[in-house]
Amino acid sequence: MEEPTGPNSLLRWAFLKNKNAIAEGADAPKLGDDYCVMTTSQVEGPFYLSAPVRQDITEDRQGILLNVSIEVVDAQNCLPIEGATVEIWHCDAEGKYSGYPEDTAHDFVRSLQFTGIFGMIGEKHVEAVNEKRFLRGAQHSDANGRVTFKTIFPGWYEPRATHIHMKVLIGHEELLTSQLYFNGDLADEIYSSVEPYKKYGKCPYNINNDLALRNLKEINGVLLAPTWVDKTTLDASVKIGVKRLNK
């Protein structure tokens, strides 16, 4: 590991020195798999905003197109849940979240100043500063428990591994808040060769050193395995297992 040379490098170096031991079991079941798991709950993060109901959430964001298909199932019997609201939100190819300052994504110090330490580790909501809502959306699951979103492959920002946030609700009953992650080799390929991702290069973070996962002892069903449709588009699917609280 390179020696730190400034405040941003020093903070990154400090976080990268600590390792998580949670990768085993992280692979997510895909649509069509004959099994399901209870998807691990994770922190909401500081940048949650209620999302508009829509399938295409890209707006004007540029990047590798990503189709995400999600099936919501009862983890006890793997049966689909119809009528669940599934929300997703994530940063753009340069690590920027809609609704929030765009100059903090790759500046560790500025990000810490804006969110505070509890916001940075996802345990405190931070109020939005503008009305932008790109890369945010909600869908209602069909009779097969499924929703599909059209988005782009997310970029990365300090100090997080590549991820997509999600919530699953029935009415006002929140069944799950979690995050989905990506294989590091795929992310490295995109970040090192495709505009506008390659402006910031490969992400130094993964699920084994990610700050928001630091306190988890295990993580189940959250690592996606997208496949290339063509040179500009990826498909990913995941079966999300939840517990029906009022069942």
Separation in Å, CA 83 to CA 53, 86, 145, 164: 13, 9, 7, 21
pTM above 0.85, yes or no: yes
Better-scored residue on pLDDT, 214 or 133? 133
Q: 56-99: per-residue pLDDT in tens?
A: 999 999 999 999 999 999 999 999 999 999 999 999 999 999 99
Determine the average pLDDT of the residues in 185-196: 96
Q: Which residues does residue 180 pair with via DSSP β-bridges, in sequence order?
A: 164
The CATH classification number of 7-242 equals 2.60.130.10
Determine the average pLDDT of the residues in 210-218: 85
